[in-house]
Amino acid sequence: MDRINSKNVKAWNAEYMFHPFASPDATAKEKPLIIEEGRGAVVYDIDGKDYIDGQGGLWNVNAGHGRKEIIAAIEAQLHKLQYYSLFGGTTHARAIELSKLLVELTGQEGMTQAFFATGGSEAIEGAIKLARQYWKLAGKPERTKFISLQRAYHGVAMGGLSANGTPAFRAMFEPLMPGFIRTETPYVYRNPFTEDPAELAQICAMLLDRAIEDQSPGTVAAFIAEPIQGAGGLIVPPAEFWPLVRKVCDKHGILLIADEVVTGFGRTGSLFGSRLWGVAPDIMVFAKGINSGYVPLGATMFNARIEQAFRNNPDAWFMHGNTYLAHPLACAAALANLDIVVKEDLAGNAASVGGYFLERLRALQDRQPHVGDVRGKGLMIGVELVADRKSKAPFESSDGFGKAVANRCRDNGVLVRNIYDTFIISPPLVLILHPPPLLRAPSPMLRTGEG
């Protein structure tokens, strides 16, 4: 088989491979960056050039690249049992161990059960199905609707896609599922209501309440949201928002689903995003940081309220699941990964390193006229660039300003992801705490920290 090299890469990539969230023309025009190796918070491209992984893969590599403990756990599992099914009365030890550990870790949030998936989108579908079945079992089958936030991102499968709050993600796949309604997100930097975060939280909670009333509360199954919105532009809600949301959900008896696919396992400086806001949801959805991307895995967890509806009822079958959920290699990786997350207090490291980043970025805001807003929690940070800071006017999308800045960062040895003109800084949570043993002598940029 022909091996790829830096000369044939551009042509092969454009010719054979269809990329996610991209147009084939753009892929053909732009030379892709081929990542070949990684250690800690540093990755290397096919030519051996090093980069600080400011993206953390796709905000999932919480414990860092090349962690020997995780690799050893996967290898040991591979030698023992590469696959067995959880269907029809069989299971395997790593899935059982992991479900127990997850229930223990989420004890404060009241989760009692774990159901596995192969990634975030699928775990979201599990949450949607669980919520609908819960209401059928509870004798209220007309409660089928879901309310989500504008700018929400809940993955690419049809249920999560229908809850997504960014029109560009949905438009080409319509019609979506019926019964999905969106309400206003508490975006402090850009909203038509107020500059006061606490007041904005009240307003958005009131609008959620009104949206539920408008649908007729007896038809609503659940409200679903990310504790901090990610792909929709990194929107940190005011601290008052989630507790108010819990109250509104309780008032109408509806379930609260926290999509913790990004916020789970330390990224926000707290072990979970829900914990950051002091809220116990009914369902928590995990993926990404659950095993730092070593093998795909997702999990949908739920509390006793939902569990009880399924117990003592021989007809309560959850008719959902697929071949690779709780893959033994993924579960083994998760067990080793979560051990690192807890023992090395990666949430604590994210809080302190993230706090430093926020401070330095805010200082930059004073000097740099195009830095409109700096926001974040832990190592989940967004920097919104604007054409004019005073009016907050964005750049014309045709300017490609965000892309140009991202490219400049890449040229200087730092990978950061831009969603239009908002930059997402989400490195592995081991950044700085554990300077990784580098594969090769670092480039001058990494050595001096210039640029």
Residue 345 CB burial class (10 angstroms; 0-12, 13-18, ≥19):
middle
Candidate segments 4-12, 117-125, 370-378, 379-387, binder of ligand PLP by CB under 6 A: 117-125
Mention every residue, 6+ apart, whose C-beta is less than 8 A from residue 383: 361, 371, 373, 374, 422, 423, 425
The tokens for 107 are: 């004890």
Side chain identity at residue 221, one-letter code: A
385's tokens: 């660039």
* Cα 411 from Cα 123, distance rounded (Å): 36
Instruction: Determine, following the binding rule CB under 6 A, whether residue 124 of this chain makes contact with ligand PLP.
Output: yes
Angle (nearest 5°) at CA 267 between 264 and 271: 55
Shortest reach from residue 90's CB to ligand PLP, in Å = 26
Binding mask 63-102 toward ligand PLP (x if CB under 6 A, else -) reads ----------------------------------------
The residue within the footprint of ligand PLP, chosen from 119, 165, 273, 376 (CB under 6 A), is 119
Q: How far is the CB of 413 from ligand PLP (least distance, A)?
A: 25
Minimal CB distance residue for ligand PLP: 120
Residue (of 263, 436, 266) closest to 337 by Cα position: 266
The single residue among 151, 154, 275, 327 that binds ligand PLP, judged by CB under 6 A, is 154
Which range binds ligand PLP by CB under 6 A, 6-14, 118-126, 199-207, 275-283?
Answer: 118-126
SS (H, E, C) 198-224: HHHHHHHHHHHHHHHHHHCHHHEEEEE
| Candidate ranges 119-127, 300-308, 380-388, 430-438; the one touching ligand PLP (CB under 6 A) | 119-127
- Whole-number Å distance between alpha carbons of 435 and 437: 7
Q: Name the minimum Å distance from CB 153 to ligand PLP.
A: 5
Distance, CA of 23 to CA of 86 (rounded, Å):
38
User: Under 8 Å CB-to-CB from 389, ≥6 apart: which residues?
Assistant: 369, 370, 371, 372
Is 281 a binder of ligand PLP (CB under 6 A)?
no
**Which of positions 134-153 make contact with ligand PLP (CB under 6 A)?**
153
Instruction: Point out which residues pair with 422 in neighbouring strands.
Output: 384, 419
In the complex with ligand PLP, the residue whose CB is nearer, 131 or 261, is 261
Q: What is the nearest approach in angstroms of ligand PLP to the Cβ of residue 259?
A: 5
Among residues 54, 66, 120, 427, the one that binds ligand PLP under rule CB under 6 A: 120
The nearest distance, CB 262 to ligand PLP, in angstroms, is 5
Residue 287 engages ligand PLP in binding (rule: CB under 6 A): yes
Please give the structure tokens belonging to residue 279: 């809220």
What radius of gyration do the chain's Cα atoms show?
22
* 230 binds ligand PLP, rule: CB under 6 A: yes
CA-wise closest residue to 438 among 34, 60, 5, 48? 48
- Cα–Cα distance for residue pair 181/145, rounded to 1 Å: 8
Task: Based on the shown chain and the rule CB under 6 A, indicate whether residue 264 belongs to the binding site for ligand PLP.
Answer: no
Among 261, 290, 358, 425, binds ligand PLP (CB under 6 A): 261
Q: Is 262 in the site for ligand PLP (CB under 6 A)?
A: yes
- Tokens 């030698």 sit on residue: 79
Complex with ligand PLP: residue 73 or 231, whichever CB lies closer: 231
Q: Is 125 in the site for ligand PLP (CB under 6 A)?
A: no
Which among 77-85, 116-124, 378-386, 396-404 is the span making contact with ligand PLP, rule CB under 6 A? Answer: 116-124
Tell me if 226 contacts ligand PLP by CB under 6 A.
yes
Judged by DSSP in three states, 396 sits in coil
Helix or strand run (H / E) with residue 330? helix 328-343
| Residue 121 or 268 having the CB closest to ligand PLP | 121
Selected from 74, 228, 231, 330, the binder of ligand PLP by CB under 6 A is 231
Quote the CA–CA distance of 446 and 208 in Å, as a whole number: 47
Cis status of the peptide bond prior to 175, with omega within 30 of 0 = yes
Confirm if 276 and 380 have CB atoms less than 8 A apart. Answer: no
- Count of chain residues binding ligand PLP (CB under 6 A): 14
What does the per-residue mask of binding to ligand PLP show for 180-219, with x meaning CB under 6 A?
Answer: ----------------------------------------
The site for ligand PLP (CB under 6 A) is made up of: 119-121, 124, 153-155, 226, 230-231, 259, 261-262, 287
